[in-house]
Chain A
Amino acid sequence: MSTLTSKIQVVFEEPACGKNLSKSEKERKKGCTKQLAPGAAAGGCAFDGAKIALQPITDVAHLVHGPIACEGNSWDNRHALSSGSATYRTGFTTDINELDVVYGGEKRLYKAVKEIIEKYNPPAVFVYQTCVTALIGDDIEAVCKAAAKKFGKPVIPVNSPGFAGVKNLGNKLGGEALLDYVIGTQEPEYTTPYDINIIGEYNLSGELWQVKPLLDAMGVRVLACLSGDAKYREVAYSHRARAAMMVCSKAMINIARKMEERYQIPYFEGSFYGIGDMSDSLREIARLLVMRGAPDDILARTEKLIAAEEARAWASIEPYKARLKGKKVLLITGGVKSWSVVAALQEAGMEIVGTSVKKSTKEDKARIKEIMGDEAHMLDDMRPREMYQMLKDARADIMLSGGRSQFVALKAKMPWLDINQERHHAYAGYAGMVKLIEEIDKTISNPVWEQVRSKAPWE
């Protein structure tokens, strides 16, 4: 079995994945990704998944080994912010050509790594496999190994070619690369009883930064964030953290679980979205740290912080209640966001008419049920046509979703707000939820909807 197929098998057998556990042995072998229907619209590939999971590591060079398509279309396309190095925003690719396809691209890859190290001298080079280079049999693991040895610098192969599967699989394969080659390879200068890892947070629009002051106030140190605003060395010594929070459950569950297994770092799944969930997450961080031996005065400190922040957030949301009362929201997103923002929206007087659970886990679904009661609210794999019909029938006043669904909403004459990666505001933390409510209010009350909904006056 090739390394790629065995790796995929490992990822598929993720024991911490609830969905996986409930399957039969045979089903599990088949893997957890639904076979895509040819001809139907589909999302990103495994390469894309690996790239977005690791690209937020800011100080390394991300080198894409493949034809121009993979990196040419995707470099620097997410608002993952960096507090320091901007190397990750430079697009590096081997840009292979026809002759490389015939004779192999390994030499070109090796030279590319060499040039990057000579010119940029990053702490590490991440090399991404793509469909074409995988098909012609370029052994990026071997090239990386040789280059690492020759240049005395980590050169990390990320073996997640697009044809391997969907984006989510790529997220995990990217995580595997960190587990295999990065985590545990360096030691921090010092450790504290308050060191944590945050796993699956990409600092999109600076969301990590919006939350960090709260952690600072608790006295908690983020030893490493995987992978938002991360430095290579932080990832490398992240195994010394005392506890971990897993933010985007489906994306990097393998990292959280394996770090618990290998380094005894307990983790919990939490969310920075939603006021109650934010508080729960802070509480859980404190609890895990105390469990690992931190002085327990952090618990009281955390409760005090939560009380003050919650009061402030609810007070800020109060003025919107009158305007947003009874407004119906359709949530088309995935994972934790399918339930985590619900409470805040409900608090502002809004009604959730539906939430998509395509990318949500069993736990996510349980949470949704807990919060919203009625199972009918859950929409599995909503097709654009259904989405359109739902909006068209005015069963919602606004849709919150990623950029791809935007146009469905607009054609259905419905206000739409971006809550995925291309959004322009950070919605994490207490302040973020207030911001979300403010943005929803703005979006719903924009005068263009009147125009959108009415016909031309002469019709």
Chain B
Amino acid sequence: MSQNADKILDHFTLFREPEYKEMLENKKKNFEQPVAEIEVAKVREWLKTPEYREKNFAREALTINPAKACQPLGAVFAAVGFESTLPFVHGSQGCVAYYRSHFSRHFKEPTSCVSSSMTEDAAVFGGLNNMIDGLANAYSLYKPKMIAVSSTCMAEVIGDDLNAFIKNAKEKQSVPMDFDVPFAHTPAFVGSHVTGYDNVMKGILAHFWDGKAGTVPKLERQPNGKINFIGGFDGYTVGNLREIKRIFDLMGVEYTIVGDNSDVWDTPTDGEFRMYDGGTTLEDAANSLHAKATISMQEYCTEKTLPFIALHGQETVALNHPIGIAGTDKFLMEVARLSGKEIPDALTKERGRLVDAIADSNAHIHGKKFAIYGDPDLCLGLAAFLLELGAEPTTVLATNGGKDWAVKVQALFDSSPFGKNCHVYAGKDLWHMRSLLFTDKVDFLIGNTYGKFLERDTGVPLIRIGFPIFDRHHHHRYPLWGYQGGMNVLVKILDKIFDDIDQNTQETAKTDYSFDIIR
């Protein structure tokens, strides 16, 4: 045996030992009825052709490797952004296990979330009892200040009425009558995680502003000069929100971050387990009604929330995940306009530094072609930044992007000479992207961790920006927003470009004449 206690091999190397190789070969030969190598190679090549791409794009019913997740994932994201709030997903418990592991793998932090654990009989008779017991248990076990209820498909299919159920549960004394239990229906068969985020954000604000489901009088808006800020579903929320707070503080703006996930997903290791940490206080959530205006950093994460806020008399501004100079300019100017504060020299200087950095490196990025996939707003932000750099976002794809999003991306392309040969794909998946990478050649791919399969299959180097990032650690701590964030994105892109050059020039005595220390 090659495995022995003196030197334990891990799975990278163990199965490369001769006996395993032999075993695997025998298995293949004798039990798997393998197709001839040549046939495999033929099909592999065929998959790269425009002909296959056409068939691939004719797909109607099948989604292969989707670049989106379901509503309740976004629901949980939104809920944990509030002070001591426990997300409670009404439905089957398996779904919740997915959300928790998804976030933990990305943020390297636990995510507290419970479900009403509906089973077969609940599916037949309705989930009311699960809600009653669930709220009571969650309340007494985890001592939250608020429980935010959302729903899985199962509860939605059988038509459970969250509002009525919560009322019922309160009458049964699961939780005190005045305990905050906002809710939102979040069926996974509609929209994606960004929709779920939107629904819960709106649900929580409606709860506080509109009389807590008819139990108290509605709040009356008494406008003040504050600005509300909603980040949206964002894999970089830890770094981004801290950066945004820094910017607001520099400007002297009075603000409320509505949905602040930056602490709960970045708790210190000091011997104390923080089930909840930071977050928008419930008081601030209620008082955010009085703000002068609300800025949403991601339009497609707040499609219902922003109109809801506007209806309450606030001015609203929707941005599309601004990255880079022009995007950040717009953001800051909106903040300045709404707050009446000036943009301080410190930020003007940061801007100048980003311009300087781009100018220093423009020769390496100019004309490079990129394929991007991700959430609709992130795609817009990245594409705008690439155009700003003189790069071409040749392919922009969002599985959860709709027609209006596609129109917006096209308008962005049309605004720059570098957008001339670029194409937008709404509602397409990563298998479509695979075909596109073969037929519409690009130099780099920008996407989440799942992009590594595309990188492996097509050889297009992957720049990891998106959600989730499972196979690289701590990226979420670094902002993409603000000029500092733009700098981070620039460096990420440049690093990959230079890594790529190094990799293509390091074969000893063959290509290493260009393996240079100065790039």
Contact = CB atoms under 8 A, between A and B. Distances in A.
Nearest to B337: A458
B359 A410 contact: yes
A264 interface: no
Nearest to A449: B359
Interface in A295-314: none
Interface in A398-427: 406, 410, 417-418, 422, 424
Interface residues of A, number: 29
A442 B329 contact: no
A458 B332 contact: yes
Chain B, interface SS category = helix
A100 interface: no
B505 to A, nearest CB: 10
Contact of A81 (B342, B387, B390, B513): B513
A185 interface: no
Interface string A438-459: 0100110111110110001111
Interface in B400-447: 416-418
Nearest to B387: A447
A406 B356 CA distance: 11
B518 A79 contact: yes
A5 interface: no
A456 B343 contact: yes
A68 B325 CA distance: 42
Contacts of A458: 329, 332-333, 336, 342-343, 348
B512 A446 contact: no
Nearest to B367: A442
Contacts of B508: 86
Contact of A422 (B348, B390, B417, B518): B518
A459 B348 contact: yes
A456 B345 CA distance: 10
B418 A452 contact: no
A442 B358 CA distance: 14
B351 interface: yes
Interface in B353-377: 355-356, 358-360, 362-363, 366-367
Interface string A58-79: 0000000000000000001101
A82 interface: yes
A147 to B, nearest CB: 28
Given A82-B513, A448-B358, A424 B325 contact: no
B134 to A, nearest CB: 51
Contacts of A451: 325-326, 355, 358, 388
B504 interface: no
A276 B363 CA distance: 27
A84 to B, nearest CB: 8
Contacts of B5: none
Contacts of B387: 447
B514 interface: yes
Nearest to A414: B359
B43 interface: no
B348 A410 contact: no
B35 interface: no
B390 A206 contact: no
A422 B259 CA distance: 49
Contacts of B311: none
Contact of A76 (B358, B367, B517): B517
A6 interface: no
A332 B332 CA distance: 39
Contacts of B416: 447
Contacts of B512: 86
B389 interface: yes
B388 A77 contact: no
B516 interface: yes
B356 A457 contact: no
A24 interface: no
B41 interface: no
Interface string A193-221: 00000000000001000000000000000
B509 interface: yes
Given A81-B513, A445-B390, A458-B333, A452 B518 contact: no
Nearest to A81: B513
27 contacts: A76-B516, A77-B517, A77-B518, A79-B518, A81-B513, A86-B509, A86-B512, A206-B513, A410-B359, A418-B363, A424-B363, A442-B367, A442-B390, A445-B417, A446-B362, A446-B366, A446-B390, A447-B389, A448-B358, A448-B359, A448-B362, A448-B390, A451-B326, A452-B355, A456-B329, A458-B329, A459-B348
Interface of A: 76-77, 79, 81-84, 86, 206, 406, 410, 417-418, 422, 424, 439, 442-443, 445-449, 451-452, 456-459
Given A406-B360, A410-B359, A451-B325, 13 more contacts: A86-B512, A206-B513, A439-B363, A443-B363, A446-B362, A446-B390, A448-B358, A451-B355, A452-B355, A456-B329, A456-B348, A458-B336, A458-B348
